[in-house]
Amino acid sequence: MGELEFISLLDGLLLGDGGLVRTSRVSARFQLNQAASNVELVNLTESILGSHGIIPRRNFRAGGVRLIKSGPKAGKTYVQQDVHYVSSRDVRGLLGHWNRWYHTGKKAVPPDISLKDPRTLALWHMGDGSYQKTVRGVHVVHLHTNGFDDPSVETLCAALQRDHGLHSNIVRWRRTPVIALRSMNAKEFCDITRSHMEPHFLYKVPYIDIKHHHLCK
């Protein structure tokens, strides 16, 4: 796998739940964890790392009923899901990517982000996207960018428009920014990403039939 292709795939993972941790002056480590139901994304991530010559590590934490031992909820129980983890070793080649994504001190979208590769969008959507049809029959794709600041989300909206002609809006969820694509833009997003989605995630990219296309642009 070439460097440009790897950047496209890594960017898709980092737009979602993937993260990089600087481990020394010269190296960084990639990490991702997902609920057991999303294990296909973990498997795909492992394959992406391996294809770029990065040896992945896998871990698993069994869920179950857990007891809260301290604090105001001490004595209560909660159900914890099974979780799959994938990470890399400390890799020199990942430090440049850490510098690119964490230039503000926390994860932020790089100004040079490209979304031209549909696999970037698919990885992002599998990690942090959702689809819904509202009670009024409007199709909406949400990209849950809650962890990013407003400038990062504005950069992503501009990239969606520039690279795919997709118009999006920023909506607020608990005061944090979320990207919304509606109607024809939701349909086109689903059509662009569908063939790159793992089977478990196909529910996020339904076939959308919009009769009055000229009303939904």
Beta strand pairing call for 56-61 and 129-133: unpaired
Domain residue extents for the chain:
3-101, 118-215
Residues 6+ apart with CB under 8 A from 16: 123, 124, 126, 127, 128
DSSP designation for 34: E
The pLDDT value recorded for residue 110 is 97
| Cβ contact 88:57 at 8 Å | yes
Asked whether the domain spanning 118-215 has the same topology as the one spanning 3-101, the reply is yes
Q: What is the mean pLDDT of each run of 10 residues along the chain (217 residues)?
A: 95 97 97 96 97 95 85 85 95 96 94 97 97 94 94 97 98 92 97 98 94 44
* Class of CATH domain 3-101: alpha beta
Select 118-215's CATH number: 2.130.10.10, 3.10.28.10, 3.40.50.920, 3.40.980.10.
Answer: 3.10.28.10
How would you class 47 by CB atoms within 10 Å of its CB: exposed for 0-12, middle for 13-18, buried for 19 or more? Answer: middle
DSSP designation for 201: G
In degrees, rounded to 5, the angle at the alpha carbon of residue 208 between the alpha carbons of residues 204 and 211 is 160
Q: By C-alpha distance, which of 135, 151, 145 is closest to 172?
A: 145
The pLDDT value recorded for residue 216 is 38
Q: By C-alpha distance, which of 91, 86, 89 is closest to 41?
A: 86
The pLDDT value recorded for residue 214 is 38
Tokens of residue 125, six digits: 């959507």
The pLDDT value recorded for residue 212 is 52
Angle between helices 39-51 and 118-128 (to 10 degrees): 140
